[in-house]
């Protein structure tokens, strides 16, 4: 294919050269003609040859008129491929380019569909038993609940055999502890917590209550019952807030505040607790409170031993 194109280019070049020679001969013929435009007859043969036209001279020159281009020959066979050149040396590694700026965040995709519920895993092995914790502090004893209904009487049991007569012993009498005191005067308002002293004593079996300190001290271990009551008048502008105290532990309290209603108010509470010998029980009037009483004895404090602990 390359040889055919080369021959075609050479043919075009020859045609261009031939046309250029013809144009040159015509230009010379015009330049040698007489200016009058008529030819004179030649005087001799030499003159005739001298006045030959440039066209004839061009025709009679050694360069004849080019002939018709020949038909291009068929392309020659394809040459054998050349030998493979040696591999060139690997060039040095180029410098690492700068890190480009981060691209913009893409749009948030839509949430995928909810997957199927997985199977329940196998039960794990039971863990080791933890170390037993220390017992917590004793909680405050709650209020006495209501008395339950009386149960049905059971069937009588079989009479047992008569036992042997025992030896005679000393007669033991259980301990007797009980007191009942009242206050006959108004107290408060107080600027700090105060122990209420009940000045009138109705009973003090066992001498557990002290009218100088206002406190009851247990003489035996056992279960005790205590009760307090208090009152405020409609003319008082302060609350009535008293609490039973065991040593420094607060027991049930009573609270009355009717200053906005202009009414009298009274309240009472009771508790059953365990006491050890030497424990103190007393009544505390809270700071900013009043305790109304008079000769009518509206403030009272009572207590007694229910049973002695062995």
DSSP letter string, 215-230: -EE-SS-EEEEEEEEE
- Among residues 40, 58, 73, the one where a domain terminates is 73
Q: Residue 89: count other Cβ atoms within 10 Å of its Cβ.
A: 6
Please check the confidence at residue 6 and state whether its pLDDT lies above 90.
Answer: no
Report the alpha-carbon distance of residue 202 to residue 71 in Å, rounded: 160
Please indicate, yes or no, if residue 54 is contained in any of the structural domains. yes
Domain hosting 192: range is 178-308
pLDDT of amino acid 233: 79
Please check the confidence at residue 170 and state whether its pLDDT lies above 50.
Answer: no
pLDDT of amino acid 86: 82
Do the Cβ atoms of 258 and 292 come closer than 8 Å?
Answer: no
Answer with the residue of higher pLDDT: 254 or 43.
Answer: 254
Report the alpha-carbon distance of residue 238 to residue 285 in Å, rounded: 12
Report the pLDDT averaged over residues 212-217. 95
Most confident of 108-117, 126-135, 299-308: 299-308
Report the alpha-carbon distance of residue 118 to residue 164 in Å, rounded: 78
- 28-32, 128-132, 179-183, 285-289: segment of lowest average pLDDT: 28-32
Number of domains making up the chain: 2
Q: 308 by DSSP, 3-state: which?
A: strand
Please indicate, yes or no, if residue 85 is contained in any of the structural domains. no
24 Cα distance to chain centroid: 102
Answer with the residue of higher pLDDT: 109 or 52.
Answer: 109
Burial of residue 188 (number of CB atoms within 10 Å: 0-12, 13-18, 19+):
buried
Q: Which CATH number covers residue 217? A: 2.60.120.40
pLDDT of amino acid 258: 64
Tokens standing for 187?
A: 């107290």
> How many angstroms separate the Cα of 252 from the Cα of each of 41, 88, 202, 242, 287?
170, 105, 24, 9, 17
Report the pLDDT averaged over residues 280-293. 93
Please indicate, yes or no, if residue 166 is contained in any of the structural domains. no
Kindly compute the dihedral angle of the four CA atoms of residues 59, 63, 65, 66, in this order, to the nearest 10 degrees.
Answer: 180
Q: 304 and 182 share a domain?
A: yes
Report the alpha-carbon distance of residue 247 to residue 99 in Å, rounded: 79
pLDDT of amino acid 47: 47
Report the alpha-carbon distance of residue 300 to residue 188 in Å, rounded: 16
Report the alpha-carbon distance of residue 223 to residue 272 in Å, rounded: 7
pLDDT tens-digit map of 135-165: 767 766 666 656 656 656 656 656 667 666 6
Please indicate, yes or no, if residue 12 is contained in any of the structural domains. yes
Please indicate, yes or no, if residue 96 is contained in any of the structural domains. no
Report the alpha-carbon distance of residue 80 to residue 77 in Å, rounded: 9
Do the Cβ atoms of 271 and 306 come closer than 8 Å?
Answer: no
Please indicate, yes or no, if residue 137 is contained in any of the structural domains. no
Q: 67 and 183 share a domain?
A: no
pLDDT tens-digit map of 47-76: 444 444 445 544 444 455 566 767 777 777
Q: 201 by DSSP, 3-state: which?
A: strand
Cis bond before residue 143 (omega within 30° of 0): no
pLDDT tens-digit map of 18-42: 777 777 766 665 554 444 444 444 4
Please indicate, yes or no, if residue 34 is contained in any of the structural domains. no
> How many angstroms separate the Cα of 295 from the Cα of each of 182, 186, 212, 288?
10, 10, 19, 24
Report the alpha-carbon distance of residue 215 to residue 204 in Å, rounded: 12
Please indicate, yes or no, if residue 124 is contained in any of the structural domains. no
pLDDT of amino acid 145: 57
Greatest alpha-carbon span in the chain: 209
Report the alpha-carbon distance of residue 244 to residue 269 in Å, rounded: 9
């Amino acid at each position: 294919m390359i040889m055919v194109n080369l021959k075609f280019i050479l043919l075009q070049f020859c045609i261009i050269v031939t046309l250029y020679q013809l144009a040159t001969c015509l230009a010379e013929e015009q330049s040698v003609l007489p200016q009058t435009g008529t030819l004179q007859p030649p005087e001799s043969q030499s003159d005739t040859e001298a006045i030959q036209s440039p066209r004839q001279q061009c025709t009679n020159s050694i360069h004849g008129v080019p002939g018709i281009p020949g038909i291009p020959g068929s392309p020659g066979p394809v040459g054998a491929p050349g030998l493979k050149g040696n591999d060139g040396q690997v060039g040095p590694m180029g410098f690492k380019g700068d890190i480009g700026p981060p691209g913009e965040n893409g749009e948030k995709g839509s949430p995928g569909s909810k997957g199927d519920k997985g199977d329940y895993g196998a039960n794990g092995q039971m863990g080791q038993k933890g170390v037993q914790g220390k017992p917590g502090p004793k909680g405050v004893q709650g209020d006495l609940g209501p008395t339950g209904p009386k149960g049905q009487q059971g069937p009588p049991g079989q009479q047992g055999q008569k036992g042997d007569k025992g030896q005679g012993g000393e007669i033991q009498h259980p301990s007797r502890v009980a007191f009942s005191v009242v206050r006959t005067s108004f107290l408060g308002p107080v600027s700090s917590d105060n122990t209420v002293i009940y000045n009138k004593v109705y009973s003090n079996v066992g001498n557990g209550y002290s009218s100088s300190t206002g406190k009851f001290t247990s003489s035996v271990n056992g279960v005790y019952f205590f009760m307090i009551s208090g009152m405020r008048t409609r003319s008082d502008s302060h609350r009535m807030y008293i609490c039973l105290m065991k040593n420094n532990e607060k027991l049930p309290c009573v609270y009355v505040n009717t200053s906005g209603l202009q009414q009298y108010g009274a309240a009472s509470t009771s508790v059953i607790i365990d006491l050890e010998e030497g424990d103190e029980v007393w009544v505390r009037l809270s700071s900013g409170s009043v305790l109304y009483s008079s000769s009518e004895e509206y403030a009272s404090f009572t207590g007694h031993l229910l049973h002695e602990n062995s």
